[in-house]
A and B are shown apart, each in its own frame.
Chain A
Amino acid sequence: MSTAKSRIWDLPTRLMHWALVISIAVCWWTGTHNDLDYHIYSGYAALWIVLMRIYWGFAGASTAQFKNFVRGPRAVIAYVRTLHWRNTAHTPGHNPLGALSVLALLGVVLTVVVQGLFAVDVDGLYSGPMSLYVTFKKGRHLAHLHYQWFEYLLYVIGLHLAAVAFYYVHKRHNLVTPMITGKAHIEEEMTGAPLWRFVLGAVVISAFVWAVSKGFYIF
Protein backbone atom coordinates (compact mmCIF):
# COMPACT_ATOMS: atom_id res chain seq x y z
CA MET A 1 0.00 0.00 0.00
CA SER A 2 1.38 3.39 -0.89
CA THR A 3 1.74 5.93 1.87
CA ALA A 4 0.96 8.94 -0.30
CA LYS A 5 -2.63 10.07 -0.21
CA SER A 6 -4.58 10.74 -3.36
CA ARG A 7 -7.67 12.83 -3.80
CA ILE A 8 -10.67 10.58 -4.40
CA TRP A 9 -13.73 12.69 -3.52
CA ASP A 10 -14.03 16.31 -4.64
CA LEU A 11 -15.33 19.02 -2.36
CA PRO A 12 -18.84 19.32 -3.93
CA THR A 13 -19.46 15.58 -3.56
CA ARG A 14 -18.38 15.63 0.08
CA LEU A 15 -20.36 18.75 0.88
CA MET A 16 -23.47 17.31 -0.77
CA HIS A 17 -23.05 14.05 1.12
CA TRP A 18 -22.91 15.68 4.55
CA ALA A 19 -25.47 18.34 3.72
CA LEU A 20 -27.87 15.56 2.72
CA VAL A 21 -27.22 13.82 6.04
CA ILE A 22 -28.05 17.04 7.90
CA SER A 23 -31.11 17.85 5.82
CA ILE A 24 -32.55 14.35 6.25
CA ALA A 25 -31.93 14.54 9.99
CA VAL A 26 -33.75 17.89 10.14
CA CYS A 27 -36.59 16.52 7.98
CA TRP A 28 -36.92 13.55 10.30
CA TRP A 29 -36.93 15.62 13.48
CA THR A 30 -39.32 18.30 12.21
CA GLY A 31 -41.58 15.70 10.58
CA THR A 32 -41.99 13.58 13.69
CA HIS A 33 -42.42 16.69 15.87
CA ASN A 34 -45.00 18.16 13.54
CA ASP A 35 -42.92 21.29 12.98
CA LEU A 36 -44.10 21.57 9.42
CA ASP A 37 -42.85 25.11 8.66
CA TYR A 38 -39.25 23.98 9.01
CA HIS A 39 -40.06 20.54 7.63
CA ILE A 40 -40.98 22.10 4.31
CA TYR A 41 -37.73 24.13 4.18
CA SER A 42 -35.56 21.13 5.04
CA GLY A 43 -37.43 19.22 2.33
CA TYR A 44 -36.48 21.88 -0.23
CA ALA A 45 -32.87 21.54 0.94
CA ALA A 46 -32.98 17.77 0.43
CA LEU A 47 -34.54 18.25 -3.01
CA TRP A 48 -31.83 20.74 -4.01
CA ILE A 49 -29.04 18.45 -2.83
CA VAL A 50 -30.40 15.33 -4.55
CA LEU A 51 -30.92 17.19 -7.84
CA MET A 52 -27.41 18.65 -7.56
CA ARG A 53 -25.96 15.21 -6.87
CA ILE A 54 -27.74 13.79 -9.92
CA TYR A 55 -26.42 16.69 -12.03
CA TRP A 56 -22.94 16.11 -10.57
CA GLY A 57 -23.28 12.48 -11.62
CA PHE A 58 -23.08 13.77 -15.19
CA ALA A 59 -20.99 16.92 -14.88
CA GLY A 60 -18.88 16.40 -11.76
CA ALA A 61 -15.54 14.88 -10.80
CA SER A 62 -14.62 11.48 -12.24
CA THR A 63 -15.50 9.57 -9.05
CA ALA A 64 -18.89 11.29 -8.86
CA GLN A 65 -19.94 10.44 -12.42
CA PHE A 66 -22.46 7.64 -12.82
CA LYS A 67 -20.82 6.33 -15.98
CA ASN A 68 -17.68 5.61 -13.97
CA PHE A 69 -19.28 3.54 -11.25
CA VAL A 70 -22.73 2.28 -12.24
CA ARG A 71 -22.16 -1.22 -13.58
CA GLY A 72 -24.28 -4.02 -14.99
CA PRO A 73 -25.62 -7.00 -13.02
CA ARG A 74 -22.69 -9.21 -14.04
CA ALA A 75 -20.15 -6.84 -12.50
CA VAL A 76 -22.28 -6.56 -9.37
CA ILE A 77 -22.51 -10.36 -9.00
CA ALA A 78 -18.78 -10.76 -9.63
CA TYR A 79 -18.11 -8.18 -6.93
CA VAL A 80 -20.52 -9.78 -4.48
CA ARG A 81 -18.67 -13.11 -4.91
CA THR A 82 -15.49 -11.46 -3.62
CA LEU A 83 -17.20 -9.44 -0.92
CA HIS A 84 -16.03 -11.69 1.92
CA TRP A 85 -12.37 -11.34 0.92
CA ARG A 86 -10.45 -9.44 3.52
CA ASN A 87 -7.54 -8.22 1.43
CA THR A 88 -9.29 -6.51 -1.47
CA ALA A 89 -7.53 -3.45 -2.81
CA HIS A 90 -8.90 0.01 -2.25
CA THR A 91 -10.39 1.33 -5.43
CA PRO A 92 -11.22 4.96 -6.03
CA GLY A 93 -14.89 5.79 -6.22
CA HIS A 94 -17.79 3.45 -5.61
CA ASN A 95 -17.58 -0.31 -6.10
CA PRO A 96 -20.29 -1.98 -8.21
CA LEU A 97 -22.37 -2.90 -5.16
CA GLY A 98 -21.95 0.51 -3.57
CA ALA A 99 -23.19 2.01 -6.82
CA LEU A 100 -26.55 0.34 -6.24
CA SER A 101 -26.60 1.84 -2.77
CA VAL A 102 -25.97 5.31 -4.21
CA LEU A 103 -28.78 4.89 -6.74
CA ALA A 104 -31.15 3.49 -4.10
CA LEU A 105 -30.44 6.34 -1.69
CA LEU A 106 -30.85 9.06 -4.30
CA GLY A 107 -33.96 7.40 -5.75
CA VAL A 108 -35.69 6.86 -2.40
CA VAL A 109 -34.86 10.35 -1.11
CA LEU A 110 -36.18 11.85 -4.34
CA THR A 111 -39.34 9.72 -4.10
CA VAL A 112 -40.00 10.79 -0.51
CA VAL A 113 -39.41 14.46 -1.37
CA VAL A 114 -41.70 14.37 -4.40
CA GLN A 115 -44.45 12.70 -2.35
CA GLY A 116 -43.97 15.45 0.23
CA LEU A 117 -44.36 18.15 -2.43
CA PHE A 118 -47.88 16.90 -3.12
CA ALA A 119 -48.80 15.87 0.43
CA VAL A 120 -51.49 17.52 2.54
CA ASP A 121 -51.80 17.29 6.30
CA VAL A 122 -54.98 15.99 7.86
CA ASP A 123 -56.22 19.47 8.79
CA GLY A 124 -55.68 20.90 5.31
CA LEU A 125 -53.42 23.59 6.79
CA TYR A 126 -49.98 22.45 5.78
CA SER A 127 -49.30 21.11 2.37
CA GLY A 128 -46.50 20.74 -0.09
CA PRO A 129 -46.29 23.48 -2.72
CA MET A 130 -47.44 21.16 -5.50
CA SER A 131 -50.55 20.01 -3.65
CA LEU A 132 -52.49 22.71 -5.51
CA TYR A 133 -52.64 20.21 -8.33
CA VAL A 134 -54.21 17.33 -6.35
CA THR A 135 -57.41 16.85 -4.39
CA PHE A 136 -57.46 16.72 -0.60
CA LYS A 137 -58.03 12.96 -0.75
CA LYS A 138 -55.13 12.36 -3.12
CA GLY A 139 -52.94 14.69 -1.05
CA ARG A 140 -53.76 12.72 2.10
CA HIS A 141 -52.93 9.48 0.33
CA LEU A 142 -49.58 10.94 -0.74
CA ALA A 143 -48.94 12.10 2.83
CA HIS A 144 -49.34 8.51 3.98
CA LEU A 145 -47.01 7.27 1.24
CA HIS A 146 -44.56 10.03 2.23
CA TYR A 147 -44.56 8.63 5.76
CA GLN A 148 -44.32 5.02 4.60
CA TRP A 149 -41.51 5.64 2.13
CA PHE A 150 -39.54 7.53 4.75
CA GLU A 151 -39.44 4.26 6.69
CA TYR A 152 -38.05 2.53 3.59
CA LEU A 153 -35.48 5.30 3.41
CA LEU A 154 -34.44 4.56 6.99
CA TYR A 155 -33.87 0.92 6.03
CA VAL A 156 -31.73 1.96 3.05
CA ILE A 157 -29.74 4.31 5.29
CA GLY A 158 -29.37 1.48 7.82
CA LEU A 159 -28.01 -0.78 5.08
CA HIS A 160 -25.60 1.96 3.98
CA LEU A 161 -24.31 2.37 7.55
CA ALA A 162 -24.07 -1.41 8.00
CA ALA A 163 -21.98 -1.61 4.81
CA VAL A 164 -19.65 1.13 6.05
CA ALA A 165 -19.27 -0.74 9.36
CA PHE A 166 -18.65 -4.02 7.51
CA TYR A 167 -15.85 -2.47 5.44
CA TYR A 168 -14.30 -1.00 8.55
CA VAL A 169 -14.45 -4.14 10.66
CA HIS A 170 -14.03 -6.91 8.11
CA LYS A 171 -11.88 -5.30 5.42
CA ARG A 172 -10.19 -2.64 7.56
CA HIS A 173 -11.20 -0.02 5.04
CA ASN A 174 -12.11 3.29 6.59
CA LEU A 175 -14.67 4.84 4.26
CA VAL A 176 -15.71 7.69 6.55
CA THR A 177 -12.46 9.68 6.76
CA PRO A 178 -12.07 9.95 2.96
CA MET A 179 -15.64 11.24 2.75
CA ILE A 180 -14.54 14.03 5.12
CA THR A 181 -10.99 14.78 3.93
CA GLY A 182 -11.45 13.66 0.33
CA LYS A 183 -8.21 11.69 0.48
CA ALA A 184 -7.25 8.03 0.75
CA HIS A 185 -4.22 5.80 0.27
CA ILE A 186 -4.96 4.90 -3.29
CA GLU A 187 -2.74 4.97 -6.35
CA GLU A 188 -5.27 6.46 -8.70
CA GLU A 189 -6.29 10.05 -8.40
CA MET A 190 -9.67 11.40 -9.42
CA THR A 191 -10.11 14.06 -12.08
CA GLY A 192 -11.87 17.11 -10.70
CA ALA A 193 -14.46 19.25 -12.42
CA PRO A 194 -14.23 23.02 -12.88
CA LEU A 195 -15.97 25.20 -10.30
CA TRP A 196 -18.06 27.01 -12.92
CA ARG A 197 -19.91 23.78 -13.65
CA PHE A 198 -20.96 23.51 -10.04
CA VAL A 199 -22.02 27.16 -9.96
CA LEU A 200 -23.97 26.81 -13.21
CA GLY A 201 -25.83 23.74 -11.90
CA ALA A 202 -26.45 25.43 -8.54
CA VAL A 203 -28.01 28.48 -10.21
CA VAL A 204 -30.28 26.46 -12.51
CA ILE A 205 -31.33 23.99 -9.82
CA SER A 206 -31.93 26.75 -7.26
CA ALA A 207 -34.22 28.49 -9.73
CA PHE A 208 -36.07 25.22 -10.34
CA VAL A 209 -36.50 24.45 -6.63
CA TRP A 210 -37.70 28.01 -6.06
CA ALA A 211 -40.31 27.60 -8.84
CA VAL A 212 -41.41 24.29 -7.28
CA SER A 213 -41.75 26.00 -3.89
CA LYS A 214 -44.17 28.44 -5.52
CA GLY A 215 -46.14 25.62 -7.12
CA PHE A 216 -45.05 27.19 -10.45
CA TYR A 217 -47.28 30.19 -9.72
CA ILE A 218 -44.36 32.48 -10.40
CA PHE A 219 -45.67 35.13 -12.77
Chain B
Amino acid sequence: MGGKFLSSVFYLTFNFNFQPFICGFSMTNILDDYALMSPLRHRNNWLKLVIVLFGLLAGVSATSPIPPFFIAFCMSFAAIALGKAPMKLYLKLLLAPMGFAIAGVLIIAFFSGSGPELLSFKFLGYPLSIRADGFELASLVLARSISGMCCLYFLALTTPMIELFAVLKASKLPESVIELSMLIYRYIFVFLDMALSIRYAQTVRLGYSSFSRSLRSLGMLGSTLFVRSWEQGDKLFLAMNSRCYDGKMTLFEVKRPVGASELLLTSAYFLLTLALLYLTKNASIV
Protein backbone atom coordinates (compact mmCIF):
# COMPACT_ATOMS: atom_id res chain seq x y z
CA MET B 1 0.00 0.00 0.00
CA GLY B 2 2.78 2.34 0.96
CA GLY B 3 4.49 1.36 -2.24
CA LYS B 4 1.48 2.24 -4.22
CA PHE B 5 1.14 5.57 -2.57
CA LEU B 6 4.78 6.34 -3.14
CA SER B 7 4.70 5.23 -6.72
CA SER B 8 1.70 7.41 -7.35
CA VAL B 9 3.41 10.38 -5.74
CA PHE B 10 6.53 9.58 -7.74
CA TYR B 11 4.48 9.56 -10.86
CA LEU B 12 2.86 12.83 -9.91
CA THR B 13 6.16 14.59 -9.46
CA PHE B 14 7.41 13.04 -12.62
CA ASN B 15 4.55 14.56 -14.55
CA PHE B 16 4.72 17.75 -12.67
CA ASN B 17 8.18 18.40 -14.05
CA PHE B 18 7.95 17.16 -17.56
CA GLN B 19 4.42 17.73 -18.72
CA PRO B 20 3.81 21.03 -20.42
CA PHE B 21 1.45 22.99 -18.26
CA ILE B 22 -2.15 22.83 -19.27
CA CYS B 23 -4.56 25.14 -17.52
CA GLY B 24 -6.42 23.19 -14.91
CA PHE B 25 -4.00 20.38 -15.75
CA SER B 26 -5.06 17.07 -17.11
CA MET B 27 -5.62 14.61 -14.32
CA THR B 28 -5.42 11.55 -16.48
CA ASN B 29 -1.69 11.24 -15.91
CA ILE B 30 -1.99 10.12 -12.34
CA LEU B 31 -1.71 6.41 -11.69
CA ASP B 32 -4.57 6.51 -9.24
CA ASP B 33 -6.89 7.75 -11.98
CA TYR B 34 -6.32 4.66 -14.11
CA ALA B 35 -7.14 2.57 -11.08
CA LEU B 36 -10.34 4.56 -10.54
CA MET B 37 -11.46 3.89 -14.09
CA SER B 38 -10.48 0.24 -14.11
CA PRO B 39 -13.36 -2.26 -14.19
CA LEU B 40 -11.44 -4.39 -11.68
CA ARG B 41 -11.82 -1.59 -9.17
CA HIS B 42 -15.21 -2.95 -8.24
CA ARG B 43 -13.92 -6.43 -7.40
CA ASN B 44 -13.12 -7.66 -3.94
CA ASN B 45 -10.05 -5.87 -2.60
CA TRP B 46 -8.95 -8.79 -0.46
CA LEU B 47 -8.98 -11.13 -3.43
CA LYS B 48 -6.74 -8.73 -5.32
CA LEU B 49 -4.40 -8.43 -2.36
CA VAL B 50 -4.20 -12.20 -1.97
CA ILE B 51 -3.42 -12.61 -5.66
CA VAL B 52 -0.66 -10.04 -5.47
CA LEU B 53 0.79 -11.44 -2.26
CA PHE B 54 0.77 -14.95 -3.69
CA GLY B 55 2.49 -13.71 -6.83
CA LEU B 56 5.21 -11.95 -4.85
CA LEU B 57 5.90 -14.95 -2.62
CA ALA B 58 5.78 -17.49 -5.43
CA GLY B 59 8.04 -15.31 -7.55
CA VAL B 60 10.64 -14.97 -4.81
CA SER B 61 10.61 -18.63 -3.85
CA ALA B 62 11.02 -19.87 -7.42
CA THR B 63 14.38 -21.41 -8.25
CA SER B 64 13.92 -21.27 -11.97
CA PRO B 65 13.05 -18.16 -14.00
CA ILE B 66 10.05 -19.87 -15.62
CA PRO B 67 7.41 -19.48 -12.85
CA PRO B 68 8.20 -15.77 -12.26
CA PHE B 69 7.88 -15.09 -15.99
CA PHE B 70 4.58 -16.93 -15.96
CA ILE B 71 3.39 -14.81 -13.04
CA ALA B 72 4.53 -11.63 -14.77
CA PHE B 73 2.66 -12.66 -17.91
CA CYS B 74 -0.55 -13.46 -16.00
CA MET B 75 -0.47 -10.24 -13.98
CA SER B 76 0.20 -8.12 -17.07
CA PHE B 77 -2.61 -9.88 -18.89
CA ALA B 78 -4.96 -9.25 -15.96
CA ALA B 79 -3.97 -5.57 -15.71
CA ILE B 80 -4.28 -4.89 -19.44
CA ALA B 81 -7.02 -7.20 -20.67
CA LEU B 82 -9.23 -7.39 -17.58
CA GLY B 83 -8.26 -4.15 -15.86
CA LYS B 84 -8.25 -2.13 -19.11
CA ALA B 85 -5.00 -0.38 -18.32
CA PRO B 86 -3.66 1.23 -21.51
CA MET B 87 -0.92 -0.95 -23.01
CA LYS B 88 1.31 2.04 -23.79
CA LEU B 89 1.16 3.31 -20.25
CA TYR B 90 1.84 -0.14 -18.87
CA LEU B 91 4.96 -0.60 -20.96
CA LYS B 92 6.14 2.87 -20.07
CA LEU B 93 5.66 2.15 -16.41
CA LEU B 94 7.62 -1.10 -16.69
CA LEU B 95 10.43 0.59 -18.55
CA ALA B 96 11.64 2.72 -15.66
CA PRO B 97 12.36 -0.05 -13.09
CA MET B 98 13.37 -2.33 -15.95
CA GLY B 99 16.36 -0.09 -16.66
CA PHE B 100 17.70 -0.61 -13.16
CA ALA B 101 16.98 -4.33 -13.24
CA ILE B 102 18.79 -4.87 -16.52
CA ALA B 103 21.85 -2.93 -15.42
CA GLY B 104 22.10 -5.08 -12.30
CA VAL B 105 21.49 -8.29 -14.21
CA LEU B 106 24.27 -7.52 -16.70
CA ILE B 107 26.75 -7.10 -13.91
CA ILE B 108 25.66 -10.37 -12.31
CA ALA B 109 25.88 -12.18 -15.63
CA PHE B 110 29.42 -11.04 -16.39
CA PHE B 111 31.02 -11.04 -13.01
CA SER B 112 29.70 -14.01 -11.11
CA GLY B 113 29.39 -17.76 -11.35
CA SER B 114 31.46 -20.63 -12.51
CA GLY B 115 30.96 -23.52 -14.90
CA PRO B 116 31.24 -23.69 -18.66
CA GLU B 117 31.62 -20.46 -20.59
CA LEU B 118 28.61 -19.60 -22.74
CA LEU B 119 29.96 -16.48 -24.37
CA SER B 120 33.21 -14.63 -24.19
CA PHE B 121 34.75 -11.68 -25.95
CA LYS B 122 37.30 -8.97 -25.41
CA PHE B 123 36.19 -5.49 -24.58
CA LEU B 124 38.94 -2.83 -24.81
CA GLY B 125 41.48 -5.53 -24.32
CA TYR B 126 39.73 -6.85 -21.22
CA PRO B 127 38.29 -10.37 -21.39
CA LEU B 128 34.58 -10.65 -20.58
CA SER B 129 32.66 -13.89 -20.34
CA ILE B 130 29.25 -15.18 -19.31
CA ARG B 131 29.33 -18.49 -17.51
CA ALA B 132 26.42 -20.92 -17.13
CA ASP B 133 25.95 -20.30 -13.42
CA GLY B 134 26.09 -16.58 -13.78
CA PHE B 135 23.61 -16.65 -16.62
CA GLU B 136 21.26 -18.82 -14.61
CA LEU B 137 21.43 -16.47 -11.65
CA ALA B 138 21.03 -13.36 -13.80
CA SER B 139 17.95 -14.64 -15.56
CA LEU B 140 16.44 -15.65 -12.22
CA VAL B 141 17.02 -12.18 -10.78
CA LEU B 142 15.53 -10.56 -13.86
CA ALA B 143 12.49 -12.83 -13.78
CA ARG B 144 11.89 -12.26 -10.08
CA SER B 145 12.12 -8.50 -10.32
CA ILE B 146 9.82 -8.38 -13.33
CA SER B 147 7.24 -10.60 -11.68
CA GLY B 148 7.38 -8.46 -8.53
CA MET B 149 6.87 -5.29 -10.52
CA CYS B 150 4.02 -6.76 -12.52
CA CYS B 151 2.28 -7.87 -9.33
CA LEU B 152 2.56 -4.41 -7.78
CA TYR B 153 1.49 -2.67 -10.95
CA PHE B 154 -1.51 -4.93 -11.13
CA LEU B 155 -2.50 -3.72 -7.67
CA ALA B 156 -1.68 -0.11 -8.43
CA LEU B 157 -3.64 -0.08 -11.69
CA THR B 158 -6.76 -1.81 -10.41
CA THR B 159 -7.08 -0.66 -6.82
CA PRO B 160 -7.35 3.07 -6.21
CA MET B 161 -6.35 4.50 -2.88
CA ILE B 162 -9.96 5.06 -1.85
CA GLU B 163 -10.59 1.32 -1.96
CA LEU B 164 -7.66 0.66 0.30
CA PHE B 165 -8.99 2.64 3.26
CA ALA B 166 -11.33 -0.22 4.09
CA VAL B 167 -8.37 -2.59 3.97
CA LEU B 168 -6.42 -0.31 6.28
CA LYS B 169 -9.35 -0.30 8.65
CA ALA B 170 -9.66 -4.07 8.65
CA SER B 171 -5.96 -4.40 9.36
CA LYS B 172 -6.66 -2.79 12.75
CA LEU B 173 -4.66 0.37 12.21
CA PRO B 174 -5.58 3.13 14.67
CA GLU B 175 -8.70 5.05 13.62
CA SER B 176 -6.91 8.37 13.65
CA VAL B 177 -4.30 7.14 11.20
CA ILE B 178 -7.03 6.06 8.79
CA GLU B 179 -8.92 9.33 9.20
CA LEU B 180 -5.74 11.27 8.61
CA SER B 181 -4.89 9.26 5.54
CA MET B 182 -8.38 9.87 4.15
CA LEU B 183 -8.09 13.61 4.67
CA ILE B 184 -4.56 13.67 3.31
CA TYR B 185 -5.64 11.79 0.22
CA ARG B 186 -8.38 14.31 -0.45
CA TYR B 187 -6.21 17.34 0.10
CA ILE B 188 -3.26 16.09 -1.94
CA PHE B 189 -5.33 16.97 -4.98
CA VAL B 190 -6.52 20.29 -3.62
CA PHE B 191 -2.97 21.36 -2.85
CA LEU B 192 -1.64 19.95 -6.07
CA ASP B 193 -4.13 22.11 -7.89
CA MET B 194 -3.08 25.06 -5.77
CA ALA B 195 0.63 24.42 -6.33
CA LEU B 196 0.11 24.19 -10.07
CA SER B 197 -1.82 27.45 -10.20
CA ILE B 198 0.83 29.21 -8.14
CA ARG B 199 3.53 27.81 -10.38
CA TYR B 200 1.61 28.95 -13.42
CA ALA B 201 1.21 32.42 -11.94
CA GLN B 202 4.95 32.50 -11.33
CA THR B 203 5.82 31.19 -14.78
CA VAL B 204 3.79 33.81 -16.64
CA ARG B 205 5.67 36.46 -14.72
CA LEU B 206 9.01 34.89 -15.64
CA GLY B 207 9.63 33.37 -12.21
CA TYR B 208 11.52 30.47 -13.71
CA SER B 209 13.59 32.27 -16.30
CA SER B 210 16.94 31.65 -14.64
CA PHE B 211 18.33 29.21 -12.13
CA SER B 212 18.52 31.63 -9.20
CA ARG B 213 15.04 32.96 -9.95
CA SER B 214 13.72 29.41 -10.12
CA LEU B 215 15.11 28.72 -6.67
CA ARG B 216 13.53 31.87 -5.30
CA SER B 217 10.18 31.13 -6.91
CA LEU B 218 10.21 27.57 -5.67
CA GLY B 219 10.89 28.82 -2.16
CA MET B 220 7.98 31.23 -2.38
CA LEU B 221 5.76 28.47 -3.72
CA GLY B 222 6.67 26.28 -0.77
CA SER B 223 6.06 28.93 1.84
CA THR B 224 2.75 30.02 0.29
CA LEU B 225 1.63 26.45 0.12
CA PHE B 226 2.50 25.98 3.76
CA VAL B 227 0.47 28.99 4.84
CA ARG B 228 -2.41 27.96 2.63
CA SER B 229 -2.46 24.45 4.04
CA TRP B 230 -2.50 25.92 7.51
CA GLU B 231 -5.54 28.02 6.60
CA GLN B 232 -7.13 25.05 4.89
CA GLY B 233 -6.80 23.17 8.16
CA ASP B 234 -8.85 25.86 9.89
CA LYS B 235 -11.48 25.74 7.20
CA LEU B 236 -11.58 21.98 7.35
CA PHE B 237 -12.22 22.05 11.06
CA LEU B 238 -15.02 24.56 10.51
CA ALA B 239 -16.56 22.42 7.79
CA MET B 240 -16.45 19.27 9.88
CA ASN B 241 -17.77 21.05 12.93
CA SER B 242 -20.73 22.50 11.08
CA ARG B 243 -21.77 18.97 10.24
CA CYS B 244 -21.70 17.82 13.88
CA TYR B 245 -18.20 16.32 13.87
CA ASP B 246 -17.69 14.47 17.14
CA GLY B 247 -14.15 13.24 16.69
CA LYS B 248 -15.01 10.24 14.62
CA MET B 249 -15.22 9.81 10.89
CA THR B 250 -17.15 6.70 9.99
CA LEU B 251 -15.84 4.72 7.09
CA PHE B 252 -18.49 3.10 4.95
CA GLU B 253 -17.37 -0.02 3.21
CA VAL B 254 -18.91 -1.36 0.09
CA LYS B 255 -19.62 -5.07 0.24
CA ARG B 256 -18.06 -6.80 -2.72
CA PRO B 257 -18.57 -10.55 -2.56
CA VAL B 258 -16.18 -12.71 -4.56
CA GLY B 259 -17.93 -14.13 -7.61
CA ALA B 260 -17.72 -17.78 -8.69
CA SER B 261 -15.92 -16.97 -11.93
CA GLU B 262 -13.32 -14.88 -10.11
CA LEU B 263 -12.76 -17.68 -7.62
CA LEU B 264 -12.39 -20.23 -10.39
CA LEU B 265 -9.96 -18.11 -12.36
CA THR B 266 -7.87 -17.34 -9.30
CA SER B 267 -7.67 -20.98 -8.21
CA ALA B 268 -6.70 -22.04 -11.72
CA TYR B 269 -3.95 -19.43 -11.73
CA PHE B 270 -2.74 -20.49 -8.29
CA LEU B 271 -2.71 -24.19 -9.19
CA LEU B 272 -0.88 -23.60 -12.44
CA THR B 273 1.76 -21.50 -10.73
CA LEU B 274 2.24 -24.07 -7.98
CA ALA B 275 2.53 -26.86 -10.54
CA LEU B 276 5.12 -24.86 -12.46
CA LEU B 277 7.01 -24.20 -9.25
CA TYR B 278 7.10 -27.92 -8.51
CA LEU B 279 8.04 -28.99 -12.02
CA THR B 280 10.86 -26.47 -12.40
CA LYS B 281 12.28 -27.12 -8.96
CA ASN B 282 15.48 -28.68 -10.23
CA ALA B 283 15.29 -27.69 -13.83
CA SER B 284 17.99 -25.66 -15.46
CA ILE B 285 17.42 -23.51 -18.51
CA VAL B 286 20.94 -23.83 -19.91
Q: Do A and B come from one complex?
A: no
Residue numbers of B with Cβ under 8 A of A are none
